[in-house]
Structure 1
Amino acid sequence: MFNVMFDTIFFASYGNFYGLSNITISSFDILLAYIVTIVAAVACALILRLPLLPSKPYRYSYDVSAIYPTPIIAIGILSIFLVLNYTFMYNGLVLAVIIGVLSALFVKYLFDFVFPKPLDENTGEDINE
């Protein structure tokens, strides 16, 4: 499993979409950008007063929180930018902070419109409301 993760990080840092091998960032810079994205997304979500954890029971909860899905969305968007080798400034750290903040804003205000909660089979209303 760790070999697959290393190969993925190495592939993303080796070259870019256009094959310009002189514009690359290291594996450490990619991992640092991922960590910065996670921290920025969770911190901004907590500032926006999203709960840290969803309501109980966790397994059947459709509530958004600072832990899930905020950093997962941020990591996915950052991965798209890194595969296209668009790192902006400071080896992707500024881009990581911007994506972390925007993903927290997306989860707070637009997540329920894009991904609506399923309807309850018995009452016909949204679950967890």
Structure 2
Amino acid sequence: MFNLVDSVLFFAYNGNEFGFANIAISPKDIILAYIVTIIVSIIVAFALKIPLLPSKPYRYSFDVSAIYPTPIIAAGIFSIFLVLNYTFMYNGLVLAIIIGILSALFVKYLFYFVFPKPLNGDEGDEINE
């Protein structure tokens, strides 16, 4: 995990081998963009009425919430863009806002199509009978 963070900071800070100097941003800007991505994704998730926490018991819950997996998906997608040295405008802040909004929309409307809930112990019995 820490090697990934180091490599993201290194590549985004130093640019790449093709000399895209305008893509290189400072580590402070990268950290600020991550924070903006996480905050925007949580705020948009609240606006879409996604609950703050999943249903109880938390350990065995497969419900989505504003805390998990919304900001984790947003930070992961933003990391992919940073590793590819694509920051768009204002040192990645506009991209961070766009990714935060799209990740909350993904979790609200498309998450269960991509990652379906597992069947309960009783649901699979009707199929086998």
* TM-score (normalizing by structure 1): 0.87
The 1-side partners of 2:4 and 2:20 are apart by 21
Aligned to 1:14: 13
**C-alpha distance 65-6 of structure 1, shift in aligned 2 (>3 A):** closer
Aligned to 1:83: 83
The 2-side partners of 1:18 and 1:113 are apart by 39
**C-alpha distance 17-114 of structure 1, shift in aligned 2 (>3 A):** farther
Say what the alpha-carbon RMSD is for the aligned residues. 2.0
The answer (yes or no) to whether the contact 1:89–1:95 under 8 Å persists in 2 is yes
Aligned to 1:30: 30
Offset of 1:14 from its aligned partner?
3.0
- Letter of the aligned partner of 2:54 in structure 1? P
Offset of 1:121 from its aligned partner?
1.8
Structure showing greater radius of gyration is 2
Q: Does 1:54 align with 2:61?
A: no
Aligned to 2:107: 107
Superposed structure 1 runs of 4+ greater than 6 Å apart: none
The 1-side partners of 2:107 and 2:29 are apart by 26
- Letter of the aligned partner of 2:123 in structure 1? T
Question: Structure 2, unaligned stretches of length 5 or more?
Answer: none
What is the number of residues matched between the two proteins? 124
Comparing 11-20 with 35-44, greater Cα deviation is found at 11-20
Aligned to 2:69: 69
